[in-house]
Amino acid sequence: MSDRIHPIASLLAAVARGISGVQVQWAGCEPDERQRIYFANHSSHLDFVVLWSALPSEIRAKTHPIAAKDYWEATPVRRYLAQNVFHAVFLDRGTPSKTKDSEEAHFVGRHLIEELSDALGREHSLILFPEGTRGTGEKVGPFRSGLYHLALRRPDVELVPAYLENLNRILPKGEFLPVPMLSLLTFGKPLHIQQDEPKDAFLERAHEAVASLRRIGSA
């Protein structure tokens, strides 16, 4: 995986920051070059770029998005953006949930986690949206289990929750053109999986870690 930031990526990051007027708050940790998985709520195409652009450039070069294969490989432009510009790790999100509980799904799921784990390697970080799809932005949807399996597989990697606010109004699902309102991004306290922690308990904890970072309407 390349560690050089593509010029288009830098350009898009600058544009996304300008459009979203994002204010970044590191509430639970500081920017750090250690290996991390940033996981956040998902309501807009801008989510990844805004989160990524909030990281210092030396960290940015080693931080990659996880992109849903079915969506991001659907057109040449999307594929170019995901693969060449942002060096995304592709994830086949359809298979595991469709063939749930079957042996095959188990196998495929394990294979995917291995791929992600390989992508992390020794120095890379990932950005993951555990809801798996963009929501309306009103509340954080249920998390899929990928985060759990990844955490189990790589307990050495810090899991950093993040909350992106108001981006659903800036570029909602189904719209192509953005409205430049202001937004917030809050990074929370890193999470680690506990010994023998059940899957549901961990996912619930991770979900709460993201949802509790909400600032709008909470005061």
Partner 1 sequence: MIAAIHDPKFVWFYGGVLFLLLLSTFIGGILRSRHRTDASRTTIDNLNARVRAWWKMGAIFTAAVVMGPIGSLVLFGILSFLAMREYMTLVPTRRADHRTLFWSFFVIMPLQYYLIGIQWYALFAIMIPVLACIFIPPSIAIAGDTEHFLERASKIQFGIMVCVYSLSHAPALLLLKIPGFDGVDARLLLYLVVVDQMSDVLQYVWGKLIGKNKIAWRVSPSKTWEGLVGGVASATALGTALWWATPFTPVQSAAVSLMICLLGFAGSLTMSAIKRDIGIKDFGVVVEGRGGILDRIDSLCFAAPIFFHLIRYYFVPGQSLL
d(C-alpha 208, C-alpha 192), whole Å: 14
Minimum CB distance to partner 1, residue 39 (Å)? 22
As beta bridge partners, residue 36 has 158
- Judged by beta carbon, residue 182 or residue 201, the one nearer partner 1 is 182
Residues that bind partner 1 (CB under 8 A): 21, 23, 136, 165-166, 169, 172, 175, 177-184, 215-217, 219
Minimum CB distance to partner 1, residue 141 (Å)? 17
Residue whose C-alpha is closest to residue 160's, from 12, 20, 55: 55
User: From the CB of residue 116, how many other CB atoms can be counted at a distance below 10 Å?
Assistant: 19
The residues, ordered by sequence, that sit 6+ positions from 19 with a Cβ below 8 Å of its Cβ are: 46, 170, 171, 178, 180
- Judged by beta carbon, residue 136 or residue 194, the one nearer partner 1 is 136
- Judged by beta carbon, residue 77 or residue 177, the one nearer partner 1 is 177
Minimum CB distance to partner 1, residue 208 (Å)? 21
Asked whether the beta carbons of 97 and 160 are under 8 A apart, the reply is no
Minimum CB distance to partner 1, residue 14 (Å)? 17
- Judged by beta carbon, residue 76 or residue 217, the one nearer partner 1 is 217
Residue 21 backbone dihedrals phi, psi, to 5 degrees: 45, 40
